[in-house]
Each structure stands twice: as C-alpha cells, then as structure tokens.
Amino acid sequence: MTAGTTAPKPPGADLPEHPDHLWRDAEPRRAYDVVVVGGGGHGLATAHYLAKNHGITNVAVLEKGWLAGGNMARNTTLIRSNYLWDESAGIYEHALKLWEGLEEDLDYPILFSQRGVLNLAHTEQDVRDSVRRVEANKLNGIDAEWLGPDEVAKVCPIVNVSSDIRYPVQGATFQPRAGIAKHDYVAWGFARRASEASIDIIQDCEVTGFVTDADRVTGVRTTRGTIAAGTVALCAAGHTSTLLDMLGVRAPLQSHPLQALVSELLEPVHPTIVMSNAVHVYVSQAHKGELVMGAGVDSYNGYGQRGAFHVIERQMAAAVELFPVFARAHLLRSWAGIVDVTPDASPIVGHTPYENVFLNCGWGTGGFKATPGLGWAFADTVAHGRPHPLVAPFGLDRFVTGALVDEHGAAAVAH
C-alpha cells in the first residue's frame, strides 16, 4: 500500500486488513420482529444467529453509544471452557466449539489463537479444587490436564515456579484449546454478518423506556423514537439493571468496575494464558506483542468506567511476583469496564415476567468467552420463546429455588 516497503516486517506487525465494508449505520424503522437492546458482543452475536439459524432478519440492534463500545471493547479476550459445573461447562464449551469455527462463519480474521490456559494453584486447597475441576472437565468431554510445577514451567517458562516466592506454584490446570481473539474484530465480524443479513444496527440509540400492554412489551422508547417490537432481547450487560428498573423487574445484579491494562509491544515471551486466583492475575500476550492483563473487580458498585488505582498496583505486584521478567515491562494504558455480577457468579438468561422479553445478563467476567455460545443459544431462545436447554439452568428462578450454579464458591475461578 505504501511505497518504500523494503525492510522485513517485524514479528507481530501482521495484523490482518479489515474488510472494506463492515456495517450499515441504520436509521431506526418503526417496528421490528425482534429488538435486541445492546450492541455489544452478545447482542450482535444474537442478531447474527437469529438470521443465520432461524431466518429471522427483521431485527434491530440498538446501541446507546458506539457499537461494541462497552465491555466488548474493554475485556481481556480470554476464551476457555474449563468450568466446574456441568451447566457452565455446557454453555462455555458450546461457545468454544463455535469459536473454533468462527473465522470461517464470519469470514473475518478474528485472530483466534488457541494457546492454552494455565490456572495456577498455590495452596493445598487450590490443588484439590483444581483436580476436581480437571476431572469434571474430562468427564464433560472438555480438554483438561493437571500439571505439576515442572510441567507448568515447560508450558510457560516465564512463570516463577521456584519455592521461594510467597505463594509457590503447586501446579496448574491446563486447557490446551483455550485461547484469545481480537475483541473488536469479533464484534465487527458479527456486525458485518448481521448487517449483510439486512439486520439494522442502530448506534447512538439509547433505550429510555418500554411500552407495555399487560404482560407484553409492545415497543421500546429510545432517544431516536419509539420502536415497536415483537420480541425484546436484553443484552445490556452492566446496564441491564437500568433497563429492568424501567420494566419494574428485579434481578440480583450488581454492576462493578473491572479494570484491565496493557503493556507496550514486546517480543514474544508468553506463549499461553496464565490465570491465578490466589495471587489475582491473569495475563496473555496479544498478537501485536502487548501483555494484556486483568485486575480484580473493584469492590463497590460503579458505572463510571474507571476503577481505583490500588487495584492496579496490586495487580502489578502479583504480575511481577509470578513473572519476574515483567519487571520492566511498562503499563501503557489502563481502563475499566462495567461488569454485572450475580450472587453465584453465573449468568442470568431466560424468561422475564413479560412473556416476550428475554433476559441475558450477569456474565460478570465471563461474557466475552461466551459470546458465540450465548448468541447461538439466546437466538434460539428468542426464536422459540423458551430457554434453550444450554441456558435453561441459568433462569432467574434459581435464586428462589436455591438451585444456584455457584461458580465462585466451588470453582474458585472467575474471569
């Protein structure tokens, strides 16, 4: 493209070219069969699968700001399915299988790179929990291994597995099929396919209320006018409570800042993904070479898309403790998303008290990795008016019956 290209390209410079057209910035029409509220990964994936799997294309995706500008633009792009409980393993493994074919499906280079994830164990109880999860994964048909410290060092030589650190690495679970993908490209890939299917993607269109008729919602009020809707699918992540408040529906959601950060571009040092709950770090090295790292969730509710710095400092301490070679990497940029967390750290998907309004929220730190799986199952849910079996365990009613899917208590692995 540019003249004078002579020197060899350095590694990591080869980001793919984007397509010449991504999506049509649509004006809202008066009515749609399905109105998806939220133009993030989940909303766009739902739109794509509504068209692809169910032939439903009279669909609008409403985005209050710029497309995929919420958590989709702010996450650390981890993809894995090594969850403890059958219910979680089901939806995340379904998602992972879709990830494995997503480049072809979307015809978009989403840079999906299956480089494996290590979940480190630092205490005897970590080891028990890890073995428990690995064994459960295997029985669920999910690739998983338990590795001792020496094997951890083989998979990721820069992890400090010596016994002289504060919480020595006792081993790790390893899921080889886990990976990363380029978050923006994933969103744009879904948006492009949805747009090609003549689904309307409408930006700068904030939902301000709902038009209801008894136990149905007939329309969505927005900053760009009222839009009639046959079915409404809520995919608003951290902003879901605001929408539910308009509907008078309660859900056990709390929105918290979740911070992440990147370093400058570095020569490849980190071949996989490493997560440590005990020491609170998760890190991968993205395609261009930057280290991408997530911090813990900030303690208080907040919609400000910024968090407290002590969380980042603690994160850096953990990173340097586990990866001594990171000492002089530089924090280049930090940011925060808004994660909607539930009491059992599992999502809420399914019916609402309104018969034609379906809910998808509460993914906490797990939303990105679920994107295609959730979109696929939620589209099916919307198309058939009942929860798809993969999301059925995640209904709002579980908090009443007590049938929780407790991923933070038992699995000790969030994110």
Partner 1 sequence: MQLIACPWCGPREEIEFSYGGQAHVAYPEHPASLTDEQWAHFVFFRDNPKGPFAERWSHSAGCRRWFTAVRDTRTHRFVSPPEMTS
Partner 2 sequence: MSRVDGYGRIDRSRTVTVTVDGTAYTGHPGDTVASVLLAHDARPQNTSVKYGRPRGIGAAWTEDPVGLVQVEEPFPEPMLLAATVEATDGLVVRGVNGQGRLAEVPDTARYDRRHTHCDVLVVGAGPAGLVAARTAARAGRSVVLVDDRPTAGGTLTGTETIDGRPSLEFVADTVAELAALGVVHLQRTTAFGHYDDGFVLALERRGDCVIEMGPRTRQRVHRIRAGRVVVAAGAIERPVVVEDNDRPGVMLAASARDLLHRHGVLAGREVVVFTSDDAAYAAATDLADAGARVRVLDARERAPQAGRRRCEDRGIPVETGTLVHGTRGEDRVTAALVGALTSSERREVPCDLLLVSGGWNPAAHLASHVGGSLAYDPVIGAFRPGELPPDVAVVGAANGTFALADILREAGGPDAPVAPPEEWPEPTLVLWRTPGDPTRQFVDVARDATVADVERAVGAGMTHPEHVKRYTTIGTAHDQGKTSGIIALGILAELTGRPIQEVGTTTARPPYTPVAFAALAGRERGDLFDPVRTTALHAWHVAAGAEFEDVGQWQRARHYPQAGEDMTAAVLRECAAVRTSVGIMDASTLGKIDVRGPDAPVLLDRLYTNLMSSLKVGRVRYGVMCGNDGMVFDDGTVLRLAEDRYLVTTTTGNAAAVLDWMEEWLQTEWPDLRVRLTSVTEQWSIAAVAGPRSRDVIGTVFADVDVSNEAFGFMTWQDTSLDGVPVRLARISFSGELAFEVTVSSWYAPALWERLVEAGAPHGITPYGTETMHVLRAEKGYPIIGQDTDGTVSPHDLGMAWAVSKKKDDFVGKRSYARPENRNPLRKQLVSLLPTDGATRLPEGSQIVAHCDDGRLPPAPVPMLGHVTSSYHSAALARPFALALVKGGRERLGEVVHVPVGDELVAARIGESVLVDPEGARRDG
**Binding to partner 2, residues 137-156 (CB under 8 A):** 138-141
Strand, coil or helix: 408: coil
Q: Which residues of 292-307 are buried (b: 16+ CB within 10 A; e: fewer)?
A: bbbbbbbeeebeebeb
Spatial distance between the Cα atoms of 385 and 401, rounded to a whole number of angstroms: 22
Selected from 54, 109, 131, 224, the binder of partner 2 by CB under 8 A is 131
Residue written as token pair 């995640």:
394
Tell me the window of 63-71, 205-213, 247-255, 359-367 that interacts with partner 2 (CB under 8 A): 63-71
Q: At what angle do helices 86-100 and 367-384 cross, to 10 degrees?
A: 100
Q: How many residues bind partner 2 (CB under 8 A)?
A: 95
Give me the residue label for tokens 């993908």: 181
Instruction: List alpha helices for 156-196, DSSP H.
Output: 183-196
Give me 311's structure tokens.
Answer: 């969380």
Q: How far is the CB of 67 from partner 2 (least distance, A)?
A: 7
Paired tokens of 399: 């908090």
Instruction: Using the rule CB under 8 A, give the single segment among 57-65, 206-214, 235-243, 320-328 that binds partner 1.
Output: 235-243
Of residues 2 and 401, the one with the C-beta less far from partner 1:
401
Label residues 246-273 b or e (16+ Cβ within 10 Å = b): bbebebebbbbbbbbbbbebbeeebebb
Cβ at position 67, least distance to partner 1 in Å? 21
Q: Select from 301, 325, 351, 395 the one that contacts partner 1 (CB under 8 A).
A: 301
Residue 241 binds which entry of partner 2, partner 1, none, CB below 5-8 Å type-dependent: partner 1
Applying CB under 8 A, the span of 97-105, 234-242, 304-312, 353-361 interacting with partner 2 comes to 304-312
Binding characters for partner 2, 257-296, by CB under 8 A (x = yes): ------xxxxx-x---------x---------x-------
- Indicate which single residue of 1, 7, 214, 400 sits in contact with partner 1 (rule: CB under 8 A): 400
- Helical (H) or strand (E) element with 240: helix 240-247
Cα–Cα distance for residue pair 311/223, rounded to 1 Å: 36
Q: Which of 128, 303, 385, 403 binds partner 1 (CB under 8 A)?
A: 303
Q: Alpha-carbon distance 80 to 85, whole Å?
A: 14
Asked whether the beta carbons of 167 and 122 are under 8 A apart, the reply is yes
User: How many residues are given for the chain?
Assistant: 415
The amino acid at residue 151 is E
**Residue 191 tokens, joined:** 């948006």
Minimum CB separation of residue 243 from partner 1 in Å reads 10
Nearer to partner 2, 58 or 305 (CB): 305
Q: Which does 218 bind (CB under 5 to 8 A by kind): partner 2, partner 1, none?
A: none
CB of 343 to partner 1, least distance (A): 5
Work out whether 333 is an interface residue with partner 2 (CB under 8 A): yes
- Interaction mask 312-341, partner 1, x per CB under 8 A: ----------------------------x-
Cβ–Cβ under 8 Å, residues 305 and 257: yes
With CB under 8 A as the contact rule, the residue among 113, 203, 218, 254 that binds partner 1 is 254
Comparing CB distances to partner 2, the nearer of 150 and 267 is 267
From CA 194, how far away is CA 100, in angstroms rounded? 20
313 near partner 2 (CB under 8 A):
yes
If contact means CB under 5 to 8 A according to the sort of partner, which of partner 2, partner 1, none does residue 30 touch?
none
Considering only 253, 275, 281, 322, the residue that binds partner 1 (CB under 8 A) is 253
| DSSP helix/strand/coil, 78 | strand
Residues forming beta bridges with residue 216, ordered by sequence position: 213
Q: According to CB under 8 A, which residues from 1 to 40 bind partner 2?
A: 1-13, 15, 18-25
Q: Which residues in this chain contact partner 1 in the complex, by CB under 8 A? A: 239, 241-242, 245, 250-255, 299-304, 306, 308-310, 340, 343, 399-401
